[in-house]
Amino acid sequence: MKTINLKIVNEKLFYEKLDNGLDVYIIKKDNFHSSFATFLTKFGGKDIEFIPINENNMVKMPSGIAHFLEHKLFEQETGESVHEFYKKSGTYVNAMTGYKSTKYIFKGPKNFKENLNYLLDFVQSPYFTDKNVEKEKGIILEEARMDLDSPYRLFSETVLKNLFTSSLYEHTIIGSMDDIKSITKENLYRCYNSFYHPNNMALLIVTNEDENDVLELVKNNQNKKSFKKDFNIIKKEYEESEKVRKKKEVIYSNVNETRVSYSLKFKLSDFNVSKIEVMDYFSIYFDIVVGYLSKFNLKLKEDKIIKKDIDFNIMTEKVKNEEFIIFTFSAFSEKTQKFVSLLKEQLLKKNYSEELFNLYKKSIISDFNYQFDSVNGIMNFLVSEYEYYGKVSNDIINAESNLNYKTFKEVTNKINIDNYSVVIMKKNKTML
């Protein structure tokens, strides 16, 4: 087992890749009373075109199948309820499907080893029948009907759809009604066997238990199971333009306040620094120029151009050999054109200083220390690092201390406000 010293937060991260390919990360916190485990597979809502394991041809699965599969893994052949098992020890259990991954989690103060063993077993024991798949369709169709009424879903999905020219984000995570109805147990098994291999998964753990005992438990559990040795996932490779699909769109939903987003799309290679550095430099930059403590943000609220603070989000997406980085700013505003216009101007002003840069750089390190004060904070760190970079390492964390003002200026000077996409969500016309 490898020990990774996380010097900035004065913690140790224990890591081992098992013989079956599973990545295991453990952080031991003696003073924590609760433990947290996440079992993650790199299979999400956008992974619907691939060559299934033991097959030769590319297939297109129904949209929503990753989410459907997440639901079905909670049904065990023994008839035992996964939720009831964890409820006995007062342990919280849940799962969630995103565009890029599916996560199964539990968190609680008792029975950690028993709960961890059970997590590995229920996720790695698929049981699909024609009958239980048909039964689940009714449940998920109802969830989909509720999801269709969600303004948050509509807004975020439209933002992504309009940024990417390929079909990567054309489909929702939960799937269309017709796609949900078309899902079969055969396709569920094809997806499960293709993506739920340990070589495509990670186990992330925060606990007060001894790390060697925990790793031994995981190894013993995995050694009792057999997995295909030659494992390789071939997903469809999409062609993606550096341009956005749509510059502007107005949508309508059952909202009381108008919401607007302004997104910028770049090729990561434009910046000549690592992905970690780009994420950090722009996080600092946006905090300085439009963050909730910035003069710009406070002035917009004072002038009633926005109702709450500006939110911003950074995401990346790799398509073939090119990786794209997306910056999205959003706010509640009835003066959407004014907001976008002022935001564009502000992003070009470059009104920062080395003193401000160093202050915000220190705040990143402070945030890390604060994050490591809670079991939720540590798990959020582990999951986000693994999902963004495919690993958790000391190099990623230490990159924060090597940020410098000269490179900061070089990177942020390359921002281009012309390759943008705006989405405005207004109150449904029938509600006016």
Instruction: State the SS3 of 247-315.
Output: CEEEEEECCCCCEEEEEEEEEHHHHCCCHHHHHHHHHHHHHHHHCCCCHHHHHHHHCCCCCCCCEEEEE
Does domain 248-431 fall into CATH 3.30.830.10?
yes
Q: Give this prediction's pTM.
A: 0.92
Q: What is the pLDDT of residue 79?
A: 85
CA distance 286 to 350: 10
- Give the C-alpha distances (Å, rounded to integers) separating 198 from 49, 201, 322: 20, 5, 27
Q: What is the pLDDT of residue 410?
A: 93
CA distance 97 to 86: 20
CA distance 200 to 194: 9
Q: What is the pLDDT of residue 432?
A: 44
Q: Residue 8: which residues within 8 A CB-CB, separation 6 or more? A: 365, 368, 369, 397, 398, 400, 401
CA distance 25 to 392: 8
The SS3 assignment for 171 reads coil
| Torsion angle, alpha carbons of 396, 264, 241, 422, to 10 | 140
Q: What is the pLDDT of residue 18?
A: 96
Does residue 116 contact residue 218 with C-beta atoms inside 8 Å?
yes
Q: Residue 149: which residues within 8 A CB-CB, separation 6 or more? A: 254
DSSP state of 91: -
CA distance 141 to 138: 5
DSSP state of 77: T
Q: What is the pLDDT of residue 351?
A: 79
- Which pairing describes strands 102-108 and 11-17: parallel, antiparallel, or unpaired? unpaired
Q: Residue 299: which residues within 8 A CB-CB, separation 6 or more? A: none
**To which residue do tokens 């500006």 refer?**
310
Angle at 128 between CA 387 and CA 95, to 5 degrees: 30
Q: What is the pLDDT of residue 350?
A: 80
Q: What is the pLDDT of residue 431?
A: 47
Of 171, 369, 336, residue with least CA distance to 251: 336
pLDDT along the chain (432 residues), means of 10: 88 95 96 95 95 93 96 90 94 96 96 97 95 92 83 92 91 92 96 96 97 97 90 89 95 92 94 89 92 92 95 90 93 96 92 90 83 93 91 80 91 91 87 46
- Give the C-alpha distances (Å, rounded to integers) separating 205 from 13, 92, 297: 10, 15, 38
CA distance 19 to 226: 11
Q: Residue 38: which residues within 8 A CB-CB, separation 6 or more? A: 103, 104, 105, 202, 203, 204, 205, 379, 382, 383
How many other CB atoms are found less than 10 A from the CB of residue 237? 11
Q: What is the pLDDT of residue 232?
A: 86
- Give the C-alpha distances (Å, rounded to integers) separating 249 from 159, 261, 262, 336, 425: 9, 10, 11, 12, 9
Q: What is the pLDDT of residue 158?
A: 94
Domain with CATH 3.30.830.10 in the chain: 2-232, 248-431
CATH code of 2-232, in short, is: 3.30.830.10
Q: How many residues are recorded in the chain?
A: 432
DSSP state of 327: E
